[in-house]
Structure 1
Amino acid sequence: MDILIPIDDSEPAMKAVEHAVREYPDADLTLLHVIDPSVGMYGEGGIYAYDSILETRREAADDLLENAAEIAANHDGSVERETVVGSPSNEIVAVTESKDIDHIVIGSHGRSGASRVLLGSVAERVVRRAPVPVTIVR
């Protein structure tokens, strides 16, 4: 079984890594971090420093993926790591399709009410669009 675990720098994302390693010990796991270029890159001068900002985010993604891989290693799991740039929910679904993933395990921030409506939910959009089963970990 091939499992995709989309991660960000949140506690629920790291819990999703732990859950996947614990519940699917024999699965091939892929950690995915999506750099969303629309978030925080359009401040003063941001458009001119796009490449520099993107490189900084790639470095941060490498650290994030390393931390998540260590969590997996603590549970005797090994993972593949991938970073892509784009809209998180779109990229998660695209990677799922291109890598022939069987299952997605994703963390949820547990937002409700107005904050969920205003901010949207990557996990919710993935559940609606994913061609495979999705487990949401809180």
Structure 2
Amino acid sequence: MTHVLVAMDDSDPARAALRHACEHYPHADLTVVHVSDPVDASLFTRVPDRSSSEERRDSSQSAAVFEEARAIAAGYDRELSTELFAGDPARAIVECAAETDVDHVVIGNHGRTGVSRVLLGSVAESVVRRSPVSVTVVRG
């Protein structure tokens, strides 16, 4: 493994996924992708065209996610690069995997079951189905 993509948001499963990547792929380059919420969920853009207040909110949220990711990686004496996408999380993660030429994706799973899984769907499941590379799903 030479390049691993870790999907990151502000959740325990995402933090567990990053710790897993740091522990299990000690020599791989790490890239963390964060997907911000779009104004229109049907849109998918690399650079969102939104109002400045929405951009500031998402920018602040993304900065906090990336800061936490760097702190976690530093605990393993690791550095990482970051990517920011907007849109549908599963689609954005798959797109980022293709664009950044990674060997592997690591993603956290909230572990929803039953009705909540049916209603909310599973980003991890969708990434597993669509990813151009192997995916490890980490329970948080």
Same fold per superposition (TM over 0.5): yes
Look up the match of 2:121: 120
Look up the match of 1:51: 52
Look up the match of 1:25: 26
Look up the match of 2:8: 7
Contact 2:35-2:86 within 8 A present in 1 as well = yes
Look up the match of 2:107: 106
Unpaired segments ≥5 residues, structure 2: 42-49
Could you list the structure 1 runs, at least 4 aligned residues long, displaced by more than 4 angstroms after superposition: none
Spell out, residue by residue over 1:6-44, the C-alpha distance to the aligned partner (whole angstroms, 9 max, x if none): 11110010010100000000000000000121589xxxx
Residue 98 of structure 1 deviates from its aligned partner by 1.0
Look up the match of 2:45: none
TM-score normalised to structure 1 length: 0.89
Identity of aligned residues (%): 47
Residue 132 of structure 1 deviates from its aligned partner by 0.5
Look up the match of 1:43: none
Look up the match of 2:96: 95
Contact 1:58-1:83 within 8 A present in 2 as well = no
Unpaired segments ≥5 residues, structure 1: 41-48
Partner SS for 1:67: helix
Amino acid at match of 2:22: V
- Higher Rg: 1
TM-score normalised to structure 2 length: 0.88
